[in-house]
């Protein structure tokens, strides 16, 4: 990798140069540093063409991006829920470091503790080095944290941020979730993701005097699974292949695993089978994925038509995985493969080529990697591995299993072969992905695998920040209790 000149501007330096956009240092900065374009896609699991996650999926534009990019086939989220996962990626602090284990309002992140108060959001780090930063859509949990971008284009989506919505729900009317599915509205132009793609395209058509850090936070395929009819037509219901499901799947998991993953407002697979709605749900999810793929394609077209096509690094990631009938559920929020595995595709600005990485990586690695690809100095306060090592040399030894945390001291570790889960009460799960990709057979009690468990246990975190009262999960009784306890302690 080419080593670029590194320098940092302090706050005073930024203030002094902000009024002088034509100074020589800005021209030199634009010449030397890569632009960054980031796509953050809500609830996007591995059902994209480059990962082969579902036979009916149609994602030609993500495939186009992947055609000359690095596809991380074994990428996992720091948390299996939107709020804590995004906060971790964008602050560089894992949930066990920050205490943000569940959802949090964007303007509360800085109030949690000294670690979050002193963290530098990824976008801010690029701004500190002279970048123009701009974003639109759902980037943090709600929108964009205060002060995180020079320009923020809004989130859209009406009340709740996931619209537009029909006057009445179509298929699922439970409180505590936006879950629903069906063809709505009439046109793409009414969808916030379409509007976000237009906004991003406009940004790419502008003349920029600085390198840019540009982020698009796309809402679909987050529920409700509503997109116009034409996207449903691309996935005929009669052709839909259902995911594998075993009704007794959870018989060999610890009781705590069932408790922390229980989400009563979400559909169960048994309900979907009994009501003959399973294929309808899969069709709707796939329609949403194909729709958001088209929105991403619109932005990629704009980049290719711009003057920035040859000097822009691109990263696409989903914030976690999603079950669509596997393990009896339609949701996220657990420590199994379907909730933790997520797309991660990175295209360097220069010397890009298609390659596949099977070593385990984490979304926490995005921050240090994009900083490195841009040629900026390392932020030493950020957790994560610089993946340029793997991009430059996929065959190197990579000893790091990837960590996912769901609540205090509930962790999952994934290496190239095994998933090891340890809960706060000491109970365990272990799965061998060489012959059990659906994680149906818990091997944790088999003494033949004790050495495997001991090896992975060495990577469990020893730091467990207390649950912040600013973070909570209303949809699960186990975590709702922890939220209330934390809030009561704050009031004492």
Q: Which residues are catalytic?
A: 82, 141
CA dihedral 198, 199, 202, 208 (to 10 degrees): -150
Using only the alpha carbons of the chain, give its radius of gyration. 22
Beta-bridged to residue 421, according to DSSP, are: 412, 429
Give the closest residue to 89 by CA, choosing from 384, 322, 361, 347.
384
CA dihedral 253, 255, 260, 265 (to 10 degrees): 100
Q: Are the CB atoms for 131 and 148 separated by under 8 Å?
A: no
Beta-bridged to residue 172, according to DSSP, are: none
Q: Beta-carbon neighbour count of residue 327 at 10 Å?
A: 23
User: Quick check: helix, strand or coil at residue 333?
Assistant: coil
Supply φ then ψ for residue 390, to 5 degrees: -75, -35
Q: Are the CB atoms for 36 and 315 separated by under 8 Å?
A: yes
Q: What is the DSSP string of 69-127?
A: SEEETTEE-SSSSHHHHHHHHHHT--HHHH---SEE-GGGGGGS-HHHHH---HHHHHH
Q: Beta-carbon neighbour count of residue 186 at 10 Å?
A: 11
């Amino acid at each position: 990798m080419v080593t670029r000149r590194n320098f940092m501007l302090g706050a005073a330096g930024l203030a002094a140069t902000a009024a002088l956009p034509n100074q020589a240092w800005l021209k030199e900065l634009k010449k030397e540093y890569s632009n960054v374009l980031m796509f953050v896609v809500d609830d996007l699991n591995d059902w994209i063409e480059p990962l082969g996650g579902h036979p009916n999926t149609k994602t030609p534009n993500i495939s186009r991006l992947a055609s000359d990019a690095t596809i991380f086939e074994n990428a996992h989220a720091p948390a299996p829920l939107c709020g804590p996962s995004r906060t971790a990626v964008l602050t560089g602090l894992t949930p066990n470091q920050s205490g943000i284990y569940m959802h949090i309002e964007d303007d509360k992140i800085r109030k949690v503790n000294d670690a979050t108060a002193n963290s530098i959001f990824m976008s801010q780090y690029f701004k500190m080095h002279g970048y123009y930063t701009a974003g639109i859509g759902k980037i943090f949990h709600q929108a964009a944290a205060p002060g995180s971008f020079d320009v923020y284009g809004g989130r859209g989506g009406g009340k709740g941020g996931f619209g537009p919505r029909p006057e009445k729900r179509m298929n699922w009317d439970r409180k505590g979730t936006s879950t629903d599915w069906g063809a709505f509205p009439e046109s793409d132009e009414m969808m916030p993701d379409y509007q976000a793609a237009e906004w991003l395209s406009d940004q790419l058509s502008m003349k920029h005097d600085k390198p840019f850090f540009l982020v698009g936070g796309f809402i679909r395929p987050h529920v409700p699974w509503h997109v116009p009819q034409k996207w449903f037509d691309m996935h005929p219901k009669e052709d839909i292949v259902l995911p594998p499901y075993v009704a007794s799947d959870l018989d060999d998991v610890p009781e705590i695993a069932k408790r922390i993953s229980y989400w009563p407002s979400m559909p169960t697979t048994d309900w979907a089978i009994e009501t003959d709605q399973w294929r309808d749900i899969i069709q709707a999810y796939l329609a949403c994925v194909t729709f958001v793929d088209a929105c991403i394609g619109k932005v990629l077209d704009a980049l290719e038509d711009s003057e920035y096509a040859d000097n822009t690094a691109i990263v696409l990631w989903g914030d976690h995985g999603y079950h669509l009938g596997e393990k009896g559920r339609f949701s996220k929020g657990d420590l199994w493969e379907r909730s933790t595995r997520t797309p991660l595709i990175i295209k360097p600005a220069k010397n890009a080529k298609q390659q596949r990485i099977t070593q385990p990586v984490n979304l926490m690695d995005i921050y240090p990697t994009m900083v490195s690809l841009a040629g900026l100095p390392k932020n030493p306060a950020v957790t994560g591995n610089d993946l340029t090592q793997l991009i430059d040399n996929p065959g190197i030894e990579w000893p790091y299993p990837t960590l996912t945390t769901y609540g205090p001291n509930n962790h999952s570790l994934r290496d190239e072969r095994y998933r090891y889960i340890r809960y706060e009460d000491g109970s365990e799960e272990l799965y061998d992905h060489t012959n059990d990709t659906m994680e149906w057979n818990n091997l944790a009690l088999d003494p033949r695998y004790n050495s495997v468990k001991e090896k992975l246990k060495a990577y469990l975190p020893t730091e467990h920040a207390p649950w912040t009262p600013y973070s909570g999960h209303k949809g699960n009784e186990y975590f709702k209790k922890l939220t209330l306890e934390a809030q009561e302690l704050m009031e004492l």
